[in-house]
Amino acid sequence: MENNYNENELQKLEKRKNTNKRIYRWFGVIIFIGLMFNAIGQGSSLSAVLFLIGALFCAPLTYRLLFNGINGKLNSTLKVLIVGVLFFVGVAFSNSKPANKAEATVTAVDTSTSVVEEKETVKEFTSWTYSDDVDEMTDKKTFYASTTSTNIIEFDFPYNGGSSFTLVIRKNSGGTDVYIKVSKGQFLGDYSGNRYLKLRFDDGKAVNYSYSMASDGSSDIVFVNNVHQLISKLKNAKKLKVSAEFYQEGNRIMEFDVSNLQWKH
């Protein structure tokens, strides 16, 4: 009786061992098939290494299970079922990477969109400079918009060495002024208001604008009259040429880039 009992126990243990071996073998087959599809679908170096490792350890076992069966007892129906399961497992592995690729594509599109938005917000170039100051006695503000001439004019001694010009729009409590100031030189003064500057906007015809001298007698600055019409034309122009007469120098032409003027005062 004891011998029979021991034989039965040994047979049970042997069956358990065989069952465990079968489970491990099938687990290896599933890993191998999954890695195979994963390597094909992703094309990464890591997947390729894992595929080779799986092939070395699992390929002989896969062949044995599918064509010879486990201990020669695996029927055809079960083989087909196993192959189907392994196929779906492999597909599941191979589909994991493309999803990440799709997310990367979406991110790239979003990034490119933000770049386009940034380009759209870039401001147009302007040569105008804007500033303001406050009168400490009245706390009232004065606003300025100014641009420097794009050309230099050479005068004789004592104003030789090159002179530049500044076109200024000024707004304070007393009103709005437009004036031109020379860095070195003298405008031909006339306090009667009968002298004119010639102004040409872009490719239009030259127009006469009368001017006035500074009240303190300065000869390096002239105030252009008809201010509001002048500012309106400056807003719609890109280039301005001004012809003025200078003391002992005759008429000279100043050139300004007046594009993109923003004046709301």
- Prediction pTM value: 0.55
Q: What is the mean pLDDT of residues 93-114?
A: 48
Q: What pLDDT, in 10s, does the model give residues 29-38?
A: 666 666 565 5
- Chosen domain end from 57, 78, 99: 99
Instruction: Using the predicted structure, report yes or no on whether residue 114 has a pLDDT greater than 50.
Output: no
CA 106: distance to chain centroid?
17
Element of type H or E holding 59: helix 45-63
Residues 45 and 157 in one domain: no
C-alpha to C-alpha distances, 116 to 106, 123, 262, nearest whole angstrom: 15, 14, 25
Residue 143's nearest CA partner among 265, 230, 233 is 265
Residues 113-122: contacts with CB within 8 Å, 24+ apart? Answer: none
Residues 145 and 95 in one domain: no
Among 35-49, 103-117, 132-146, 213-227, the range scoring the smallest mean pLDDT is 103-117
At residue 81, the pLDDT reads 52
- Chosen domain end from 99, 116, 147: 99
Residues 88 and 133 in one domain: no
Does residue 263 lie within any of the structural domains? Answer: no
Count of domains for the chain? 2
Percent of the chain with pLDDT over 70: 52
Ranges of beta strands (E only) in the chain are 129-134, 141-148, 165-172, 175-182, 196-201, 207-213, 221-224, 239-246, 250-257
Does residue 156 lie within any of the structural domains? Answer: yes
> What backbone phi and psi angles, to 5 degrees, belong to 12?
-65, -45
CATH number of 219's domain: 2.60.40
At residue 217, the pLDDT reads 87
Supply the DSSP string of 11-36, one letter for each residue. Answer: HHHHHHHHHHHHHHHHHHHHHHHHHH
Does residue 65 lie within any of the structural domains? Answer: yes
Instruction: Using the predicted structure, report yes or no on whether residue 78 has a pLDDT greater than 90.
Output: no
Domain that residue 87 falls in: 2-99
Say if CB 165 and CB 159 are below 8 A apart: no
Instruction: Using the predicted structure, report yes or no on whether residue 220 has a pLDDT greater than 70.
Output: yes
Q: What pLDDT, in 10s, does the model give residues 162-185?
A: 999 999 999 999 999 999 999 999
Instruction: Using the predicted structure, report yes or no on whether residue 203 has a pLDDT greater than 80.
Output: yes
Query: Average model confidence (pLDDT) for the chain?
Result: 75
Number of H helices, E strands in the chain: 5, 9
Q: Which pLDDT band holds residue 152 (cuts at 50, 70, 90)?
A: very high
